Amino acid sequence: MNDSYRTRLNAFDHSAAALKRPLLITHERPDGDAWGCLIAVNRALAASGADPLPVAFDPPTSKYAWLVTPEPIRLLTRSDNTTDSAPQHPHAQASVAQDAAPTDPSKLRPTTQHAPINESQLESADGIILLDTCSTAQVQPLAPWIDSARSRGLPVRALDHHVTRNIPTDTLLVDESAAAACLIVFEWLRSTNRPIDPTTATALFTGIATDTGCFAHPNTDARLLAAASELATLGTAPHRIHDRLFLSEPACRVRLFAAAMDRMKLYHDDRIAVLIVSPDLLNRTGAQASDTEDLAGQPLRITTVELSVLIVETGGDPPTLKLSFRSKTGADVARVAARFGGGGHTKAAGARLQDRLDSALPKIIDALTRALDEASRR
C-alpha cells in the first residue's frame, strides 16, 4: 500500500467519522460485493458510536439471505409496493462463522424483519455514503432525493471500484484496479485500525469471492489474495461461504440457467453469445429476474466465445431490457454499455434500455462486434 493510497483511505475515514447518522446506500439488485460493503461499513461505523441507516432497494435473494437477513438493513418502499425477492431455500439463514456448520439447524442465526422505509424517513441522515456505486443509473429509486439532498448541503461520500461515476461527491474513495469494493473497505478498516469481527470478515470475504468468481476471474491478483488470506484468519469460513454461494442453488434457478443456455445464440463466427430471458421463460422455470445473477458469464466457458450479453425482458410499452455484458478478452464492455446509457468494468458491465427486443438486438450485436474489432486493432 503506497503513501498516496493510505492518505486517501485516511481522508475517507475522517469524512465518514464526521457523520453521526450516515445514510448507507448501494446499487439496485445488490450482489455479494454490494451486500458485503453495506454490512461491513454499517457494522464498522456503528462500532465507533455512529448510528448508520443502511438502506437497500431490493431484499436479498436466496443466494445472500443467510448473510443479509440477520442485519438491520431497511428496505426502501417502492411506489408500487412490490419487491423482487426469490424464495429462500432450506437453511437460508444459517451462519457460516467457523463455529456454526450451515447444515446444523441448531446453529441457525436469529432473523430480523427488514423494516420498510420511505423517503420522508431519510431526513434524519446527516450525510450519504454510496457503496459499490457512484452512478445515477444504479440508484434510480433515490436519484432525485440524493440530488435534492446535495442541493440542501447534505454531504455525499462514495467508495467504489467502477469506471462509471456521475454522482457529484464531497469525498470519493475510488480504485478501479481493486477487484471488489469489499477489498477497498477491508483496506480502509485495516489501515485505520478499525475492528473486523467474524461477521464483518464474512461479509467482506463474500464480496471478494463473488466479484472474482470465487477467485477464478482475471481480476484475482496478489493484493486480493492477501486480503482474503487475512480475512480467513479473522473468524470467517471460506469453504462454508463457497457452499452458500455456489452449492446451495434453488432448483428454479438451475432450471432457468439450463433453459437459457439451451436457447443461446452465437454470432460473429461464434465469438459473441446472446442469452435472452423472457417473462415467459421465468414463469415456466419458476424463477425470478433476480435469479439471473451470474448467468451472463456462462457462455464464456465456450472456447470461441469472447463476449456475451444477457438480455432480460421486463414489462412495459416499450419493454425495459436489462443488459448484462461480459468479456474474457481485450474487448471493453464498459464502453459497449455506455452506448446504451450504462457502464461498469472493462470485463463486466450493464445497462437498461427501453426498446423492443426485435429492434434492440441488432443494435446490441453491432455494438459488441465493434468492440471486438476495436480490440483487434489495439
Domain positions in the chain: 3-245, 251-377
Q: Which residue has the higher pLDDT, 61 or 1?
A: 61
Tell me, what's the pLDDT at 164?
Answer: 82
Residue 100 scores a pLDDT above 80 = no
179-227 tens-digit pLDDT: 999 999 999 999 999 999 999 999 999 999 999 988 988 889 999 999 9
Residue 115 scores a pLDDT above 80 = no
296-307 tens-digit pLDDT: 999 999 999 999
DSSP assignment string, 83-95: --PPPPPTTTTB-
Q: What is the DSSP letter of 254?
A: H
Strands ordered across the beta sheet of 74-76: 116-117, 74-76, 53-56, 22-25, 127-131, 156-160, 171-174
Residue 280 scores a pLDDT above 60 = yes
Tell me, what's the pLDDT at 114?
Answer: 66
Q: What is the DSSP letter of 302?
A: S
Torsion of CA 12, 16, 22, 23, to 10 degrees: 10
Select, from the ranges 12-16, 80-84, 327-331, the one with the highest average predicted confidence (pLDDT): 12-16
Separation of first and last alpha carbons in the chain: 31
Q: Is the peptide bond before 168 cis (omega within 30 degrees of 0)?
A: no
Tell me, what's the pLDDT at 87?
Answer: 35
Distance CA 111, CA 342 (A): 35
Asked whether this chain's domains 3-245 and 251-377 adopt the same fold, the reply is no
Tell me, what's the pLDDT at 109?
Answer: 34
Residue 339 scores a pLDDT above 50 = yes
Tell me, what's the pLDDT at 90?
Answer: 31
What mean pLDDT do residues 67-83 have? 74
Tell me, what's the pLDDT at 121?
Answer: 86
Architecture of the CATH domain 3-245: Alpha-Beta Complex (3.90)
Tell me, what's the pLDDT at 86?
Answer: 36
Amino acid at 231: L
Give the number of other CB atoms < 10 A from CB of residue 141: 16
Residue 106 scores a pLDDT above 50 = no
Which residue, chain included where needed, has cell 443494435?
363
Tell me, what's the pLDDT at 78?
Answer: 56
Q: Does domain 251-377 have CATH number 3.10.310.30?
A: yes
pLDDT band at 107 (very low <50, low <70, confident <90, very high): very low
Tell me, what's the pLDDT at 104?
Answer: 31
Enter the C-alpha cell of residue 185. 473497505
pLDDT band at 105 (very low <50, low <70, confident <90, very high): very low
Residue 364 scores a pLDDT above 50 = yes
Residue 335 scores a pLDDT above 70 = yes
What is the average pLDDT score of the chain? Answer: 88
Residue 96 scores a pLDDT above 80 = no
Distance CA 266, CA 39 (A): 40
Q: Is the pTM of this model over 0.95?
A: no
% of the chain residues with pLDDT over 70: 90
Residues with Cβ < 8 Å from 43, sequence gap 6 or more? 197, 199, 200, 203
Residue 80 scores a pLDDT above 80 = no
